[in-house]
Amino acid sequence: MMNLIDTMDLSLTEIDGLVETALDIIKNPEKYAESCKGKKLATLFFEPSTRTRLSFEAAMYELGGNVLGFSEASSSSTAKGESVSDTVKVVSCYADIIAMRHPKEGAPLVAAKKADVPIINAGDGGHYHPTQTLADLLTIYRRIGTFENLTIGFCGDLKYGRTVHSLVNAMSRYKGIKFVFISPEELRVPRHLREDLDISGISYEEVTSLENAMPELDILYMTRIQRERFSDEDQYQRLKDSYILTVDKLHNAKEDMAILHPLPRVNEISVAVDDDKRACYFEQALNGKYMRMALILKLLGEKDKTEEKIETVSDFVCRNKRCITSCEQEIKHEFRLADKAKNIYRCIYCDKEPKK
Ligand code: CP
């Protein structure tokens, strides 16, 4: 079974294929109008969403399929204590493919191990959000025409911003990429991502000033400070206005820089910036629908393909309270070797190192 848990599940050739399909859908929508006739997509959203859930649903309808699901955990039997594993086993009986958003890191991977149909990660806590990355990639391609030789600035909440983590993974495989991580010290990009970049020899810098970084950027990826992930409200209040992009702050940006944002925004991009030709965030939301259409077609078309199994060990315990292993007791804790030279293992669900 082919699933999409992180962008690393897709090869660069597969990403090219999805972009190509999405571009063809944009050009010839009628060609795809009955592609999923008789098929059902289940959207299981245990966390709020506007774009991801509705664009998945619009995508399936535009492919001629049907949709079922729920938009909050409280209206499902999760409220009665049902596990993720049992939920997806049951939904597999009703749907051909499942898109799932969950507050716990790794929940979609647990679902993928249990379900009889393809699972798409529609966002798992502060971990990954691969279909947002697909939207981002199509936007970059349509605006800039290439994924290579780009300097990409990520600004805001890089600790909890799952869209950042998935896009960094995806872009780090292209030639000539440099990342500039712009955040307060408390919201730096997670260590496991920095270690991966170090291992792969990818160029990146961490800075605090958006203004100083601006002139070299080809892409500025703004993010919201993720209030719902903070355990300390005072810390959120202190950090929430760290970066606010205004028209004035764009004075030294490149003329053709692309401004992306996964949305929703709070106040981190002034509404006046929407009229700047470099703003791409609303077309990014539309591109998400086309890429989700392409993804549904691919996963339903490759239902019988088997995924490569990674080797794991179970010698440790994951202590990350945000990991799905912290609340689904029956899940076996599994770890993969992330850095052979340093003998570093990471949880397969949340990517955190086990506490020794
Ligand atoms: N970008 C994104 O995931 O938006 P929603 O939370 O509205 O789905």
How far is 100 from 120, CA to CA, in rounded Å? 6
Q: For residue 288, which atom of ligand 1 is closest to its CA?
A: 1
3-state secondary structure 308-346: CCCCCECCCCCCCCCEHHHCCCCCCCCEEEEECCCCEEE
Give me 81's structure tokens.
């204590």
Cβ proximity of 85 and 133 under 8 Å:
no
Phi, psi (deg, nearest 5) at residue 38: 85, -5
Superfamily of domain 7-129+286-301: Aspartate/ornithine carbamoyltransferase (3.40.50.1370)
DSSP string, 147-197: SSS-EEEEES-TTT-HHHHHHHHHHTTSTT-EEEEE--GGGPPPHHHHHHH
Exposed (0-12), middle (13-18) or buried (19+): which is 226, by Cβ within 10 Å? middle
| Ligand 1 pocket residue status of 228, Cβ below 6 Å | no
Helix (H) or strand (E) holding 260: strand 258-260
The domain locations on the chain are 7-129+286-301, 132-284, 312-356
Q: Does the CB atom of residue 288 touch ligand 1 within 6 A?
A: no
Find the angle CA(116)-CA(120)-CA(125) to the nearest 5 degrees: 120
Domain pair 7-129+286-301 / 312-356, same fold? no
Q: For ligand 1, atom 6, name the residue with the nearest CA.
A: 49
Is ligand 1 within 6 A of the CB of residue 132?
yes
Give distance in angstroms: CA of 328 to centre of ligand 1.
25
Q: Of the candidates 193, 141, 185, which has an alpha carbon nearest to the alpha carbon of residue 164?
A: 193
Model pLDDT for residues 252-309, shown as the tens digit of each residue: 999 999 999 999 999 999 999 999 999 999 999 999 999 999 999 999 998 767 777 7
Question: Per CATH, the architecture of 312-356 is what?
Answer: Roll (2.30)
DSSP 3-state assignment of 115? coil
Mean pLDDT of the chain: 95
Q: What are 95-153's pLDDT values in tens digits?
A: 999 999 999 999 999 999 999 999 999 999 999 999 999 999 999 999 999 999 999 99
Q: Which CATH class is domain 132-284?
A: alpha beta
Residues 62, 39 contacting (CB under 8 angstroms): no
Nearest atom within ligand 1 for CA of residue 123? 3
- Ligand 1 atom at minimum distance from 135 CA: 1
Percent of the chain with pLDDT over 70: 98
Max CA separation in the chain (angstroms): 56
